[in-house]
């Protein structure tokens, strides 16, 4: 099949969803419909892409064979897959849903069941990447669900990503994503403490980051967030709000498994504190505002 033979709808066109839609459109896929709870956001993107902005979820299902969802949380997933009223499940026979939000793993299992009852299929496409990678089609994409559904949707998934991995059954990709973000958040908070203490000691922070990069203190987070922490550039690519939510998902999994995660608990507390101070919309690098001397106001 040619890319143009795949009709696509995107539900949730914030920064990630909109850039996925833009990239797929650039790659020749038929992006037919977009939807967002903020109607004006969907309308603006629809005008840009030359598609239709729907005000009802069922309209997206009717317009496309593959529906990509990028919503905020478990509650939003419950809304778009409601068993009554306006829902993506209306008229869903034969459709494929690709759910990309970071949500509780059990929700993916539940949605798979609901989709099957409606004669449709679902797949989780968990993203460990940034807004820029969504736009460029270079996502690290972890998928869970039935292997046959993954294979069916693979041309779309391959276009969205440069690293594509099938994890296993529904919910397992979300488990892996939760662990990825938990460790990333711990690394981010740890780096903020290291650089904050370095600043308090009067050390040259550029020198300190160079030393970190050549030793056991090195991390991917040092590359992406270190300079931003020092110069206080917290333009949002992955928000403190999301960091707190995702660490919470991991801690919930740990509780169910009977595992104690004190570092994850401390990290979540830091991001929750940032939210309490009205800074939850900062990038996760903003956690440095709590650790550098003179910044915590």
Q: What is the pLDDT of residues 127-145, one digit of tens each?
A: 987 788 999 999 999 999 9
Residue 37 lies in a domain: yes
Residue that terminates a domain, selected from 135, 170, 205: 170
Q: Provide the 3-class DSSP secondary structure of residue 212.
A: helix
What pLDDT sits at residue 1?
80
Residue 295 lies in a domain: no
Question: With a cut of 70, which residues of the chain have pLDDT below it?
Answer: 297
- The residues pairing with 95 across neighbouring beta strands, listed in sequence order, are none
Smallest CA-to-CA distance from 33 within 63, 77, 66 is with: 63
What pLDDT sits at residue 297?
65
Residue 157 lies in a domain: yes
Residue 216 lies in a domain: yes
pTM confidence score: 0.89
Length of the chain, please?
297
- The structure tokens listed for 52 are 């239709």
Find all residues with CB under 8 Å of 154, minimum gap 6, and list them.
164
First to last CA, the chain: 57
What pLDDT sits at residue 143?
98
**In this structure, how many other beta carbons lie within 10 angstroms of the beta carbon of residue 151?**
11
For residue 53, the enclosing domain spans 3-170
What pLDDT sits at residue 131?
85
Q: Domain containing 195 — which CATH number?
A: 1.10.1040.10
74: phi then psi, degrees, rounded to nearest 5: -60, -40
Residue 233 lies in a domain: yes
What pLDDT sits at residue 207?
98
Q: For the chain, what is the domain count? A: 2
Smallest CA-to-CA distance from 35 within 43, 24, 47, 23 is with: 43
Residue that terminates a domain, selected from 170, 195, 222: 170
- The structure tokens listed for 296 are 């915590």
**Exposed/middle/buried for residue 4 (C-beta within 10 Å: 0-12, 13-18, 19+):** exposed
Q: Domain containing 18 — which CATH number?
A: 3.40.50.720
């Amino acid at each position: 099949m040619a890319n143009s033979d795949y009709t696509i709808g995107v539900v949730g066109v914030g920064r990630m969803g909109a850039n996925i839609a833009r990239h797929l459109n650039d790659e020749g896929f038929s992006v037919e419909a977009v939807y967002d709870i903020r109607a004006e956001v969907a309308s603006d993107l629809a005008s840009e892409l030359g598609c239709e902005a729907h005000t009802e979820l069922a309209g997206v299902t009717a317009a496309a064979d593959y529906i990509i969802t990028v919503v905020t949380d478990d509650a939003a997933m419950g809304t778009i897959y409601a068993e009554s009223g306006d829902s993506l499940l209306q008229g869903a026979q034969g459709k494929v849903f690709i759910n990309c939000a970071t949500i509780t793993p059990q929700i993916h299992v539940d949605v798979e069941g609901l989709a099957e009852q409606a004669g449709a299929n679902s797949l989780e496409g968990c993203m460990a990447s940034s807004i820029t990678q969504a736009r460029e089609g270079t996502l690290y994409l972890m998928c869970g669900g039935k292997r046959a559904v993954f294979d069916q949707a693979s041309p779309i998934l391959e276009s969205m990503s440069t690293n594509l991995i099938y994890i296993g059954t529904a919910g397992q990709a979300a488990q892996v994503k939760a662990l990825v973000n938990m460790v990333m958040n711990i690394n981010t908070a740890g780096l903020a403490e290291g650089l904050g203490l370095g600043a308090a000691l009067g050390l040259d922070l550029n020198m300190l980051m160079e030393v970190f990069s050549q030793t056991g203190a090195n991390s991917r987070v040092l590359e992406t967030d270190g300079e931003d922490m020092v110069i206080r550039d917290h333009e949002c690519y992955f928000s403190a709000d999301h960091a707190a939510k995702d660490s919470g998902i991991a801690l919930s999994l740990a509780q169910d498994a009977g595992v104690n995660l004190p570092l994850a608990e401390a990290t979540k507390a830091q991001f929750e504190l940032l939210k309490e101070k009205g800074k939850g919309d900062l990038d996760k690098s903003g956690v440095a505002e709590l650790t550098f001397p003179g910044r915590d106001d």
